[in-house]
Structure 1
Amino acid sequence: MNISKNSASSQPSPQQATQQQVEQVIASALPLTGMLPVVEAPTSPDAQGSQQPRESGFTEAVRIAGVIMLGLFFVGIGLGMLVHSYHLPFWVAPLLPTVVFAGSVEFVLIDMVSNHASLFSIAVMTLLINSRHLMYGLSYPIERVRGGLAKFYTVYTLIDEAYALNTGPDRHKLRGSRILWIHAGLHLSVLASATLGYMLGASFLSELKGVDFVMTALFAVLAIDAYQASKDHLIGVMAAASAAVGLLVAPQSMLLISMVVYILLLVSRFVVAKRRSTLPEHMLVADEEPAEAGVPGHPGAPTH
């Protein structure tokens, strides 16, 4: 037993490497690491930092705008049923959203065409209702869409829903195929459902009453929501006065005259309130602040 212990103790014990020796080994191995192949994981951002998802533009459009397309599908059904309720030909249902794809204008045109309105009245009414589209081009990423025909179709089918889906902080990084498929999906949704709505109206829904009031109800709800959001009593008075003027001047062109009078009243109010520094908070520009009386530097502050 003593001999075995002496022999075991005579074997050299392993030495612990010092920190300095470890650093020297690592430093000597560094030049060799450049010879090893390095496999990088694929990254989705490109050189400009824009995201390039693996899914196709069609798949992305359906994922992003599928719910909106479904909502417009039911709106198109109402449009087709409204066309039938006015006893217009069948071809009007698919032709109207094909030629005039501008949101609520299609509903207004049905009533104006049925009442044999003049082309001038129709043109002015369309301009007044969709004048907001003139501002959309300032921030819409149309440069992402390639091809003259594709750009034309994108501009032609630009509606509020498409603008909301394709604008934002990353709008200049969106793929053109996504933008184009969203436009096509929204357009085809209304086109197909309007045709279906006409057939439904011509079959078992032909006796349905009140379809011609759908658009009036829609605008009434929108007006109530807008009033509750701003709580501007003067706006309500101006709208009622404009409607009264339209009814008194020309009942057959009441909507056109009322909208012209309403716009003139809004512009006049804005100019007067701007000069007096009494603009309501919801009418202020983004870089403006409400006037605070008594605070130096504000328009409402008293001058000495």
Structure 2
Amino acid sequence: MTELLKRDYVVSSELGRGRFGVVSRCVAVDSGESFAVKSMDKRVISAGDSLDAQCLLTEPKILHLLSPHPHITTVHAVYEDENDLYMVIDLCSSSDLHDRVVSRVVPEPEAASLMRQLMQAVAHCHRLGVAHRDIKPDNILFDEENQLKLGDFGSAEMIREGEQMTGVVGTPYYVAPEVLAGGDYNEKVDVWSAGVVLYVMLSGFPPFYGDSAVEIFEAVLRGNLRFPSRAFQGVSTAAKDLLRRMLSRDVSRRFSAEQVLRHPWFNIAGESMATG
């Protein structure tokens, strides 16, 4: 651990561990404020896939570009030594959206509040030329004040307006069909993934599924969107309309993040919250 990091922060308990490093709690020496520090082992990264190395080493750069935003994990400092890269970021609670939806269906007003926060984050990314490429409940975090924070930009990519991306990245249930098809794609892959998140919140299960990764991918590529009555009987017509527009296989017809935020469902669900 670098002397500069130890000078500025007191690092304590481990919060989590991944393929490339560890996330630990830390406290700023000057303010006493709590943060998380994400350490990434550069030796493990460089020995692995070159795409992994490129993505993980650009994550601090991307987070600096996006910060500050109320619904995106903020990077507060970056340190580096011979073996490791350290990134001091917002401290989020131990629960993520996956923990919150795994055992219950989310009521529409609550789902609208969460989706508005998520899409504000996604729209901010897209305005600055960043595609997240791995939106899923596990990467949707909550800070100490219960504000939603989009995190883990390890698969993110910076793109100029009108440019396309390549490469199969993402998570089986949430990845967009054009990613799996192996061709070029744009930032609307994030809207698809967010649409899957919304579907899961409202129904309790993903729209495209199978017993193996291959079967899930086949279902995603077919993109046959259905609303089973047993799960969607109480879901509003407006919510289903928004889902159809977010989960359109035709990318040219799929909503942008900004269009999602302008959809009337947010007002309808908000009014339901106010009167409920």
Smaller-chain TM-score bracket:
under 0.3
- Bigger fraction of residues in helix: 1
- Computing the radius of gyration from Cα coordinates, the structure with the larger value is 1
